[in-house]
Structure 1
Amino acid sequence: MKNKIQINNRRYIGCKTKLLNNIEEAINTFNFNFNEASVFADIFAGTGVVASHFANLGYKTILNDTLYSNYVIYKTFLGAGTVDETKIENIIIDFNSINGEELEDNYFSRVYGNKYFSINDAKKIGYIRDQIEINKPNLSEREYYYLITSLMYATDKIANTVGHFESFLKKAPQDKNVTLHLLQINPNIRPADIHNIDSNELVKRIKCDIAYIDPPYNARQYVNFYHVLENLARWDKPTEFEGNSMKFKRNNLKSDYCRKKAPMLFEELINNLDTKLIIVSYNNTYKAGSISSINTISEDEILNVLSKKGKVNKISINYNPFNAGKTGLTSHMEYLYICEVID
């Protein structure tokens, strides 16, 4: 089976794949003395691409995200445990041979069919997810996460959306025959320390050499963009939904960094960090036309908090990210704030 999927092969708002070299160069600017014991912590890990990059460079890594769907992806690509690829490949071949048209309606097709996916694709997705759960006793923990991850990536690829699940397109979804793939896993990296908790709680428990901070930028909640994948990963099968977009009840998954208390939380997080170098990634959406796209933390607030922790340097980068819609921005800038912590 060719064309293995890599960790960055998904559509995700604010994904930092294009910034990896900039982040690495920023670290090198401070003459950071890397060694085998160096720890890189990605506090708001999102897709996991930043931590994955530094894991491949030899760092010990810590990843965290409040979305369980992202946690599953980290456990697959960067976690501990074994994967029998021949066994997984045979399972995926069997899954891909399924004809959705021959399946009965199931939870997933009843909720998302004829909205985000065709009925046949939704039936196939739901059936496969049920089969993964049924076969869980015969899978290692990592194999279990692997199959869910492969299904999530396949599901995301065929969704009837503009690239996220805030809403679906008005046109009726067509059959696209959802297809799972093997995943590109590096067997030579050290297993990451992976968490699925509040970031401000995480920093009280860890110690690292480099802390990468990429918090939500604005009022747009990430769980609203990825609620379908979150539901698919959790598989609790909730029955209460909001609106035509079929968002399940998710208040416990909404981030306070998208609210007015964000500056206070940011200061608390930075104050509790035990690290040598802090890198904060932020952008200029505070100039956006959309109210929901305006930054919840100002640049002055970031600089004020970091300057109390150590010596700060700012790097500006022209950057056109994948985003959720019209922001009114004609020029998008990404900023890296590098803080060399002073004891």
Structure 2
Amino acid sequence: MGYRYIGSKVKVVDNVIGKITEICPSKGRVADLMSGTGVISTELRKRDYKVTANDLMTYSYHHSIVNLKFSSSPKFEKLLNFISNIYDLDIELSPYENVINFLNNIKPKRGYFWNEFSYEGNPQNTERPRNYFSPENAQKLDGIREVINNLSCDHIINDLEKSLLLHDLIMAANDIANIAGTYGHYMSKLNGRALTELKLKCTELFLKSDVENHIVMQGYAEENANKIQCDLCYIDPPYMKRQYAANYHILETLARGDEPEAIGVSGLRPWRDQYSNFCTKTKIRESFKTIIENMECNNFLISYSEDGLLSIEDFELLLSNFGDVNIETFSHKRFRSNNSSLKNELVEYLIHLQC
């Protein structure tokens, strides 16, 4: 399983972590203010930092819970008792493995995902069926989604266990989605891994008895900034006009476990409640100003890109109003959708603002 996610810091994690360790010693408090897939937060935890992870998206919240809040392997005690009434558990497997086997064998259902996001469906707001998932995988998603929701409502799984199972479901769906790069649209024909069967897998958890050191938040960075006190704040803002809430609407629906109205050809959920000012050239400056002025922090490290809405010169000028600015430049391979005309190499910047 892997992240298919624009802006993921998997490829540049060493650059980012190296700069953080240069500015802030280990065991300090670091805020990952737009945590996304949680790659940076996880690496910080491994290096004994105290992490505050925040993101606007619900799926990112669950990723961060999984990355930061497990100190031991999940026991799933109530759920295993529930499952054992249905069939015999495999004593050679861990509780977590038994639960994943249980979910992988849930009876498929022709529900919301099958109807709205497979070519066999009959979507409400467009005449043409959508093709994000094969009909078989869409039915599996519907079956597993319903079971996880019911288990949570019936208190058979706790919040921590729910986050883990939703994380696993999101990762499994992401692995077989019929998309070129984002969920802004689907491929016309099923091909490649979209033809393979949806299968949940156990996440390799990083287990450490430090969960009390870490805080996971969800919300707008501008609104949560005044609730955070840290030695360093790392910010990885969106670079483009396209909103993440629209690009990854299906992952958000999986994370929320709801059935929103699917709008238009792409089947977007209503997403204005997760509109980001960082995707708007006229508002990005005020958002950075709000964060820097309201957070109790003297060091900000910002990832930025040559694709950003502001030129690096404009961005440096903006930040220089708040303190000393130092910029490091490096290149890496770009995330590209299929058939993209963009160049392979992307210039990125690490900007240190010391207030």
Q: TM-score range by the shorter chain?
A: 0.7 to 0.9
Is the aligned partner of 1:261 residue 2:275? Answer: no
Does residue 314 of structure 1 match 2:327? Answer: yes
2:318 to 294, 305, 328: 305
Residues 244 and 63 of structure 1, relative CA distance in 2, 3 Å threshold: same
Change in 2 beyond 3 A, CA 1:303/1:13: same
Matched, 1:334 2:348: yes
In the TM superposition, 1:52-71 aligns within 5 A as: 52-71=42-61
Structure 1 residue 35 displacement after superposition: 4.7
Residue equivalent to 2:124? none
List, as ranges, runs of 4+ consecutive aligned residues in structure 1 with deviation greater than 6 Å: none
1:47-86 aligned at under 5 Å gives the runs: 47-79=37-69, 83-84=74-75, 86=94
Distance 1:298 1:274 in 2: 27
AA partner of residue 19 (structure 1): V
Q: Is the 8 A contact 2:26 2:47 kept in 1?
A: no
Q: Secondary structure at the match of 2:349?
A: strand
1:92 is matched with which residue: 92, 97, 100?
100
Are 1:208 and 2:216 an aligned pair? no
Equivalence map 1:11-26=2 (5 Å): 11-26=4-19
Match of 1:105 among 89, 110, 115: 110
**Aligned-partner SS, 1:247:** coil
Pairing 1:266-277 to 2, within 5 Å after superposition: 266-277=288-299
**Unaligned 5+ runs, structure 2:** 77-93, 120-130
1:27 equivalent to 2:20? Answer: yes
- What CA deviation, in whole Å up to 9, does each residue of 1:259-310 have, x standing for no partner? 121122122222223223211110101xxxxxxxxx3233233212322332
Mapped partners of 1:329, 1:254: distance in 2: 28
Of the three residues 133, 144, 147, the one matched with 2:165 is 147
- Residue 128 of structure 1 and its aligned partner are, at CA, apart by 0.4
Instruction: Look up the SS of the partner of 1:22 in the other structure.
Output: helix
SS at match of 1:88: helix
In 1: Cα distance, 2:333 partner to 2:49 partner: 28
Contact preservation (8 Å) 2:31, 2:230: yes
Whether the aligned pair in 2 keeps the contact of 1:207 and 1:274 (CA below 8 Å) is: yes
Distance 2:209 2:32 in 1: 16
Following the alignment from structure 1 to structure 2, what is the Cα–Cα distance between the partners of residues 64 and 321? 25
Alignment CA distance shift 1:97-1:313 (3 Å): same
> Which residue number corresponds to residue 81 of structure 2?
none
Give the one of 184, 206, 216 matched to 1:194.
Answer: 216
SS in 2 for 1:135: helix
Matched residue SS, 2:180: coil
Q: How big is the shift at 1:184?
A: 1.4
Q: What is the CA–CA distance in structure 1 between the aligned matches of 2:55 and 2:323, rounded to whole Å?
A: 26
Distance 2:349 2:112 in 1: 43
Aligned length: 318
> Is the alpha carbon distance of 1:330 and 1:80 closer, same or farther for their aligned partners in structure 2, counting shifts above 3 Å?
closer
> Alpha-carbon deviation of 1:24?
2.5
Show structure 1 runs of 5+ residues with no match. Answer: 286-294
